[in-house]
Amino acid sequence: MAILHEHTHFYKEIFEIPGFFSGPAVVFGFHEIGVRKEYYANFANLSLRRKIKKIKFALRRKWLAFLGRAHSDIEVPQEFQARNIVELLENRGIKDVNVIDLFDARANKRYDMNHPVPQSEHERYGLFMDIGSIEHLFDTRQCIENEIRMVRTGGTYMLHTNVNGYYEHGFHVFNPEALTKVLTLNGFEILYLRYSTPLCVPLESPSQARDVIIWLVARKLAPIADFILPQQGRWETWYS
């Protein structure tokens, strides 16, 4: 799993949310930073070969943006020269960064998120980031309960997952209503909500493209007592 240069525009916006970088932090999945040097480095400091690559990248990105297939923002911040998400968060001042992954040996927390995490993990983290992992879990109900219980009151939760298309990418594709409702019903305030194509063309609705990503950030306002399950709103409207 990796953070791609196509996604950096949305990360830039998210990283500007006040209090986002609050430790300790935990990330679900060990994510590499898939951004090549020519994308973020100063043009004058590049070799001739990388300068040519940077020009080609900029021209291609502008052409794709003109066709409506990519975001027009081609500037990639210097911080994305980090090798992985742990290093990026550490560079932003969070010194206690943890990674959950059942299979990756680089993770320091080998939890199966289909099952409840230890209660000692509840209300512990200032930041929880799920960058495209929840859709690969069979029991998404348990997974999201684990994730939001691990966020401490006042902490931040970020979720990036698919809400349309992505055939065979994971086990699930989500209705955005389920994700926003489960957060608001369990004491979170939505701070950031965007939709995009895989190449980060902004969308007003997940219905506007075949494969769609949600970018969701929420702040925890109160501890969770009993986990509240959302109901789909269409049925209340239907039967009323």
- Which tens digit of pLDDT belongs to each residue from 112-162? 999 999 999 999 999 999 999 999 999 999 999 999 999 999 999 999 999
Question: What is the enclosing helix (H) or strand (E) of 164?
Answer: strand 151-164
pLDDT of residue 37 exceeding 60, the answer is: no
Give the pLDDT confidence score for residue 97 in this predicted structure: 97
Give buried/exposed letters for 19-41 (b at 16+ CB in 10 A, else e).
ebbbbbbbbbbbbebebbebbbb
pTM of the model: 0.87
Give the pLDDT band of residue 7 (cuts 50, 70, 90). Answer: confident
Give the pLDDT confidence score for residue 221 in this predicted structure: 98
Give the pLDDT confidence score for residue 43 in this predicted structure: 63
Q: Which domains are seen in the chain, by residue range?
A: 2-34+81-239 (3.40.50.150), 36-75 (no CATH)
Question: What is the enclosing helix (H) or strand (E) of 46?
Answer: none
Distance CA 11, CA 19 (A): 14
